[in-house]
Structure 1
Amino acid sequence: MSLQTEQRQHIDTLIQLSEGRETGLGACREVIRRSWARCVDEYRLDPSRPRPVRVLTQQALRDHQESVDDLLHVARAGVDQLHAQVARLGYVLLLTDHRGITVEFRGQRHRDRALRKAGLYLGADWDERYAGTCAVGTCIHDTRAITCHHGEHFDATHINLTCTAAPITDPQGNVIAVLDISALESPRSHESQNFGLSLVTLYARMIEDAYFMHRYRDCLILRYDTAREFVHLNGRGLIAIEEDGTLIAANGSGRALIGEHLHRWPPWSPDRMPSITQLFDGEISDVLGILSACGDQIRAFRARASDATCFVTLIEPRGRRVAARALPASPAPVPALDRLASDDPAMHRVLKLARRLRNEEVSVLITGETGTGKEVLARALHDSGTRASGPFVAVNCAAIPESLIESELFGYLPGAFTGGRRHGMRGLIQQADGGTLFLDEIGDMPLPLQSRLLRVLAEREVMPLGAETPVKVDIRVITATHRDMSRMIGDGHFREDLYYRLNGAQLRLPALRERADRHFVIRSVYEALVAEREQATRLRADAMSALLAYGWPGNIRQLKNALGFALATVEGDEITVHDLPEECLVDAPPATLTLAQQGDEAVDDDGQVLHELLQQARWNISQVARRLGVSRPTVYRRMQRHGLVPPNRRG
């Protein structure tokens, strides 16, 4: 079909639209349909009379360029980079102001005449009110990125063009410029422009953020992202603040975060703007102290509106150091508590409260899944408080047989019952006198004993079995459970009055899979195990990646067991992904996992075959594991099943 025929058909379609008949619109996209309707109904454009390209005079163009001079200064690097990527594909680049006037242009010199004729040139006016439906004009009207491809243009003279545009907005969300790439010829498929749309949107955001940084260069700026690795390089959110935490302005992602807090967006509402500590769960001292308190100058905070973890860094005003003079005095370090976490927001809240409670006599209930480190936190509370010189007595209520728990806790006098010690025994509660009694898995304490424990807490005295006179005790009680205590109380399995005695303050430990500082936890556990074993072994990156990807249903306890296993079985001086237990290999190829999980039915279950493989590899277990596509633990298990022992370990 000739271009003239296509143009006539296009004009006929738009004339039908102007006459109220939409039968020819077919599968026209809704965004284009609305723009065509505006062109006909609001702008009174006549589709049968295509309009010539409008190009401003040199003086008028200079006036438009001067009005966006600051933006042009910032945008040129991004414009050049984008053009370098798309020029070889036949695209030219336009940067327009908020009225659709092209104030910056990158073209193709050998096609200069054709580009001028099409309006793809410096000074061209792409306002929708004049040029009709087009990428720039429709982008300005709708404040959204858009591709206007071939026949989607309103003006029939433009139906061979493909144009993709994205808005650049100011901190209030108003369009201040449009970034556009256009081509005189392109494939007919609309999908052929999808990548261009993503690319233009990306560069528009980069220019927008660079302009934000330039405009607020004399302010404190928070830069954040949901991925720690991208914060310094390309953090999505930018928020300018005063030194007291008052918000000044934000980029698009920042405005969305503020909008979540205000429950409405737009419009921009400076009189209702929250402070930075209302957006993020933390104190202003935590924010101002990011650069000095964190090694990589990034700190994790919880976004209050969405409960998402955001990794935040601080950009200081040009030429002056705000944090150094504005940062309130940091609280004294508490090593026993400080070493339990890095910058996980949930752990930050737990440890902040723990610091306040460490010297108080209030009872503390620690909750969390099994293996999250409840006893470790309880001991840290004890070691960091005024009772640190006293005993720390830990009792696992689920591990002591029900028939013995009463005598273990309360003690007994000589002859109190058959089978007891001849001289009696001081119970664990008495042993904790002057220090801390930690009752782990308190939810498993038998109901009859709960009444006796309640008396201990109320009277601060204990009655050993067989005694007639109670013994005074000076203890602080910390308890822990992984159970749903509210449900247990409702089911009649736990005394409500005892629960409120124990729950003077509650500390909830997050699961390992929920923590933003998993890398810190893994490294800390690993280094502690290496120090215990005096073992010069390093953790290779592929093993760390597998550990970070795993869900850890058993939490830190399971992590410690997995690393302990790897250290016990590793053959060289580094732990690789093949040294980890099989359940940690969530990222292994499906075929590998299938073979590793076949157990007794594995193809190498023939002991002779396995023996030959081991001999060929000179008993290098790692090499055999790689050849079979299984983990080293699997090879060890099958060697044991077949009684295969390396020569250097035979007696």
Structure 2
Amino acid sequence: MTSLQSRHIDNVYSIATGTALADPAASLVHKSWARCVREHGLDPTKPSPARILPAQEVRAHQQQLEHFLRAARAGMEDIYRRVADLGYMVLLTDAEGITVDYIGNPAWDDQLRRAGLYLGADWNEAHAGTCGVGTCLIERQPMTCHQTEHFDATHIALTCTTAPLFDHSGRLTAILDVSALRSPEARESQHLVRHLVSIYARMIEDADFLRSFRGHWILRLGTAYGLVDVAGELMLAFDEGGTVVGANSGARQALAENPLGREVSQLLHIPMDAIWRLGNGGASAMPFAHTVLLPGGGEYHASLLAPRVRRAAAPAPDIARPSDRLPPLARIAGDDPAMQQLLAQAQRLVDRGIHVLVEGETGSGKEVLARAMHGASRRAAMPFVAVNCAAIPDSLIESELFGYTPGSFTGGRAKGMKGLIAQADRGTLFLDEIGDMPMALQTRLLRVLSEGEVLPLGAESPQRVDLAVVAATHRNLSALVAAGRFREDLYYRLCGAVLKLPPLRARGDRRYLIEAMFNEEAAAMRPGARLSDAALQRLLAHAWPGNLRELRNVLRLALALCADGTVGAQDLQLPAPSDSAAAAAVPSAPASAEAGAGDGGLEGADELRALLQRHRWHVARAAAELGVCRATVYRHMKRHGIAPPQRM
């Protein structure tokens, strides 16, 4: 150990254990030294070499940032071109301090690796002590850790300048670091580097923001009139309805309130028409001297960027990407009191970190409600991943949900597969028909919910995931728990809040739903089509055992069959009104029956065989009568050894 290292250790120990740190003006570095000793339990007299993670663990950390790495890499390459000749290298860590990308002079690889300026290096303050990355993760502001400001004596030759990177919801995502093995002794020599790192951190954030919201309108605000079209300091992404779904760091800092979920016109006190005109004429189209006065103060010029990708006509059944249309909560119901109360509860649950369980009959709109909650949340621009736990075969559900690493099993993809849970990271995971999830997987799902991490098949270490979870079922989960067919601890994890969707026949806003759904389907299939009064009355009188799903199918078929663009009563494929009225009078299956059967009456082999025979072995019709999906019927047929006659 050199004399310089020895003096450094004495200085760190003296300050870290002293009383001067109670002064609010104490430097970030000295506060960090105290944390290292008092909270992390680090000993300055025991320097340790750089900690480099195995390649497999590094890949797991990279996968969690894969959506962000492309924009970050472009920024890293550009800043490296500007500082390489001065002896600097560039690295990027995730929010845990693990280096997931780096650029340095290949001739210095051995030195960089020994110093920890290398792929896989762990710069978390709890392990590495005071350093640019680890301390920046805690302080969340640009900073320089120069030479003897490092806690560990093995790092005192380094100079490291860092800046935090946040996503559009304000979550710390990564750290950008520019470091050098050697530098001038004066700390002031790093001022220009610090300024450069801060600029590139914002550029990377904004590039990722523009990528994430390329399917939305983006309002850019800047103090420089001539640069606002290319360098908006404040950016707000909003949908066609004018609702803000994303804000960059500049906007979150400049606005006194959380902008997400607010109307952009109300937030900025600008008429929506004036904002739309920006899309046609640029900044010069803005009236009132081309400026926007923010509520908290500050004068900005404005520019509007139109969506750069077309939105899908219909969302995919499994994963909704950021550009998909998401129904606002207010639009999924009319004036039905029960639904209005439910939607008010749903709105209050958004962004509260509470898992939600939606109960309701098959086809009653459980996924529609889940998508609307996702669209109203801060996660709206991130994936909405819907998983039907009953529709995935037992043999595939584990790999589909959790993913797998390369070579995990025969027949798997050569590069492995990212599971549906990991795909929902930072977004919403919707678990439909959760009551049909096999018991073995319920244990693994419980770990995901309790620990916030997922372990792919074949992997040695878990991956962190940040999820909003909405589960749905048409069954009585508490009865399944009592019967030993659903884990009690998982049940209580899922039902942080329970929303009970009423069936369509019990809703007082049926007219609103029928007309809204008809207009939606007509716009896609036959623009200009209308619904006759006779057809409307027939639809209002029907019992709707299949709920909203049945209603949509009936309307689509009627639109296809009507001859002159007017849907009449004769175009509706519905049972006779007398049959419909009789069906409406039949109460739904009692809870006791469901508790005894567990699957809508599928427990007994004789009952199931009789049901299938009555429907001439048409599984879809039998499933519809029971209110379950076909996969559930097939599962119970297999359990009881029941096969159609032609297979016997």
TM-score when normalising by structure 1? 0.45
Larger gyration radius, structure 1 or structure 2: 1
Return the TM-score normalized by structure 2: 0.46
Greater relative contact order (CA < 8 Å, ≥ 6 in sequence): 2
